[in-house]
Amino acid sequence: MKKLIMISVLASLALTGCSEPIDEASEIAQQACVADKNSDIDRLSELMNEEMFEMNKAMHQNSDPQMIRMLKMLNCDLKNAEVLEDGSFVVSFKKHNSYEVKELDGDFKIVGEQYF
């Protein structure tokens, strides 16, 4: 039984270690979308560079209740992801702003936003 569990864990680690950068960028963007939708400021701080985080933090802290309700209605289903010339990515959603994702110090972070 322990061998079966160990094999499953190793297989999972091997598969996640082989993901493409565009997949990793898409995952980070989707996590940020959900955090934005839920006004999860702590999670946004982990997923965004400092400039993007400060802008989003201020927006969430200064939003009226109607804006918060609108955010909850946004759809974070992935529409597409594309690679830019500089190696960063633009990840678009069905009903949410697109995020620009870039690798910074070994981690993917949201560095920009494009409004839909």
Overall domain count for the chain:
1
Judge whether 93 lies within some domain.
yes
For residue 38, the domain's CATH number is: 3.10.450
Sheet with 107-114, strands from edge to edge, namely 75-83, 89-95, 98-104, 107-114
Judge whether 11 lies within some domain.
no
Range of the domain at 70: 21-114
Question: What's residue 2's pLDDT?
Answer: 43
State pTM to two decimals. 0.79
Judge whether 42 lies within some domain.
yes
> pLDDT tens digits for 50-88?
999 999 999 999 988 898 888 888 899 999 999 999 999
What is the overall mean pLDDT for the chain?
Answer: 86
Judge whether 15 lies within some domain.
no
Tokens 């990793």 belong to: 24
Helices (H) and strands (E) in the chain, counts: 5, 4
Question: What's residue 44's pLDDT?
Answer: 97
